[in-house]
């Protein structure tokens, strides 16, 4: 990349004020999530007879329990017996489909079986220890992901702006939700960022190995993997090393897991099909349903998803020859991840929206240049408002709490205010990235200059 791409602008005199407001907003959101939202959820679950299990680290618990029992005894990790054991650990009792108030998510083990082999070393440790260590590790990996994506975009703001950015990311609802649950999606996001960094530094074999590990949640990285495979075919001698890292690693993971559970792939596919029948649909389907109604949601959602996939294929094909360190490569990767967030991820998987970080950073880095276009400026303002809404409303709720009755405060209309924009943010990011593809470059290196 040209040297001008790494220029860092001096910090504004308003940055200390912005940093202070960021600390206040992040603290308010943290208190809302841990001090209000989680206790309220626990109280509601207890009223349904479901409050005696593990809430903190609940996603990790599925992996920890299943990796211990399934690997040691070679039990089917997707069996009804294993599902009941998971439900008992999480809720204090197995779920009953005859009880309408029981969660619709049956908590069947959702990951490919090779995930269990990767986590087997910690399965013999007490879960109380594992979950704390894992969540601390996830927080550190999320911080590392932030730095890696900024490195990928050659974005080097001052330390005060960096503190603002880290607090914005760590204090966001998706990251807080992922940390509390011990969500493997945050681990996948780190491996994804590390793979792209290795790719840009010419370590293509390592990049392929790291990308293979992200397939513990294949829906998160599927589009990007397909693009990188297409990208690697352009120069098979040099770029082909990515495929040589990816495919043997995948074969090793699949072979090892098939040796332990010979029929796990069929069981996992059945679990995934059932999973999509009782969980929320992708965000694009929910958006269509909210505007056109449930009767048209199915066909219209399929059409919109197909249109986005065709666009993704066209974008990948157009940029299959670009260098891994080029702006076009960064744009393509960020856009494909944004499309993934609204088409391939379940509607409730807000914690996986951490894959929007590169797109959000790309837009933030080029804010000043993009704002020259009034349409982009309006969308950027909308995106910033969507991003900051949870912090503003959580702070307002804390102030208003003494003035409201318990019934008023915990009503859905008021108590859920900080969560209202979680589903809208991916659409805003994708819309801005798509419009940005048509915006003219303004910097010396084909990218606008830093706004800070």
Sequence-distant (6+) residues with CB within 8 A of 153 are: 330, 358, 361, 362, 365
The alpha carbon of 60 is separated from its chain's Cα centroid by a whole number of angstroms, namely: 16
pLDDT tier for residue 266 given thresholds of 50, 70 and 90: very high
Q: Which residue has the higher pLDDT, 158 or 181?
A: 181
Task: Using the predicted structure, report yes or no on whether residue 232 has a pLDDT greater than 90.
Answer: yes
Sequence-distant (6+) residues with CB within 8 A of 267 are: 76, 77, 78, 79, 261
Task: Using the predicted structure, report yes or no on whether residue 1 has a pLDDT greater than 50.
Answer: no
* Span 417-426, average pLDDT: 90
How far apart are alpha carbons 215 and 265 in whole angstroms? 14
30 in the Ramachandran plot: left (φ > 0), alpha (ψ -120 to 50) or beta?
alpha
pLDDT tier for residue 198 given thresholds of 50, 70 and 90: very high
Helix (H, G, I), strand (E, B) or coil at 346: strand
Percent of the chain with pLDDT over 70: 92
Task: Using the predicted structure, report yes or no on whether residue 450 has a pLDDT greater than 60.
Answer: no
Sequence-distant (6+) residues with CB within 8 A of 182 are: 56, 57, 58, 59, 60, 61, 131, 134, 135, 138
Residue 377 confidence (pLDDT): 80
Residue 234 confidence (pLDDT): 84
Exposure of 228 by Cβ count < 10 A (0-12 exposed, 13-18 middle, 19+ buried)?
Answer: buried
Exposure of 326 by Cβ count < 10 A (0-12 exposed, 13-18 middle, 19+ buried)?
Answer: middle
State the SS3 of 163-221: HHHHHHHHCCHHHHHHHHHCCHHHHHHHHHHHHHHHHHCCCHHHHHHHHHHHHHCHHHH
Percent of the chain with pLDDT over 90: 54
Closest among 225, 237, 268, 6 to 114, alpha carbons compared: 268
Give pLDDT tens digits for 329-381.
999 999 999 999 999 998 888 999 999 999 999 888 877 777 777 777 888 88
Query: Quick one: CA dihedral 256, 262, 268, 273, positive or negative?
Result: positive
C-alpha separations of 186 from 198, 363, 405, 423 in Å: 18, 22, 37, 18
Residue 291 confidence (pLDDT): 64
pTM of the model: 0.90
Average pLDDT value over all residues in the chain: 86
């Amino acid at each position: 990349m040209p040297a001008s791409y790494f220029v860092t602008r001096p910090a504004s005199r308003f940055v200390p004020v912005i940093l202070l407001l960021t600390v206040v907003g992040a603290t308010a959101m943290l208190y809302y999530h841990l001090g209000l939202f989680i206790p309220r959820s626990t109280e509601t679950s207890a009223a349904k007879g479901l409050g005696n299990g593990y809430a903190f680290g609940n996603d990790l618990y599925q992996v920890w329990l299943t990796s211990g029992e399934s690997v040691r005894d070679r039990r089917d990790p997707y069996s009804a017996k294993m599902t009941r054991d998971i439900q008992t650990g999480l809720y204090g009792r197995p779920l009953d489909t005859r009880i309408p108030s029981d969660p619709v998510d049956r908590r069947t083990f959702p990951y490919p079986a090779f995930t269990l082999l990767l986590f087997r070393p910690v399965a013999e440790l007490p879960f109380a220890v594992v979950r704390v260590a894992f969540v601390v590790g996830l927080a550190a990996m999320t911080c590392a992901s932030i730095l890696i994506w900024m490195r990928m975009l050659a974005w080097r703001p001052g330390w005060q702006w960096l503190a603002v950015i880290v607090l914005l990311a760590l204090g966001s609802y998706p990251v807080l939700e992922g940390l509390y649950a011990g969500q493997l999606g945050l681990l996948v996001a780190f491996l994804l960022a590390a793979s792209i960094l290795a790719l840009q530094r010419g370590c293509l074999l390592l990049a392929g190995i790291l990308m293979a590990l992200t397939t513990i949640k294949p829906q998160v990285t599927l589009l990007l993997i397909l693009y990188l495979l297409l990208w690697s075919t352009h120069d098979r001698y040099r770029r082909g090393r990515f495929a040589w890292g990816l495919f043997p690693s995948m074969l090793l993971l699949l072979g090892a897991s098939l040796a332990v559970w010979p029929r796990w792939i069929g069981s996992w596919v059945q679990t995934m099909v059932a999973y999509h029948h009782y969980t929320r649909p992708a965000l694009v389907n929910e958006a269509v349903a909210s505007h056109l109604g449930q009767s048209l949601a199915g066909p219209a959602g399929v059409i919109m998803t197909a249109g986005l996939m065709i666009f993704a294929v066209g974008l990948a094909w157009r940029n299959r020859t670009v260098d891994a360190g080029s702006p076009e490569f960064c744009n393509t990767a960020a856009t494909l991840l944004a499309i993934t967030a609204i088409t391939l991820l379940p509607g409730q998987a807000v914690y996986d929206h951490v894959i929007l970080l590169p797109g959000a950073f790309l837009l933030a880095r080029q804010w000043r240049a993009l704002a020259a276009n009034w349409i982009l400026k309006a969308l950027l303002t909308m995106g910033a408002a969507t991003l900051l809404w949870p912090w503003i409303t959580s702070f307002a709720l804390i102030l208003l709490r003494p003035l409201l009755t318990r019934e008023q405060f915990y009503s859905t209309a008021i108590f859920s205010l900080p969560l209202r924009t979680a589903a809208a943010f991916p659409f805003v990011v994708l819309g801005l990235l798509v419009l940005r593809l048509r915006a003219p470059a303004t910097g010396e290196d084909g990218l606008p200059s830093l706004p800070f």
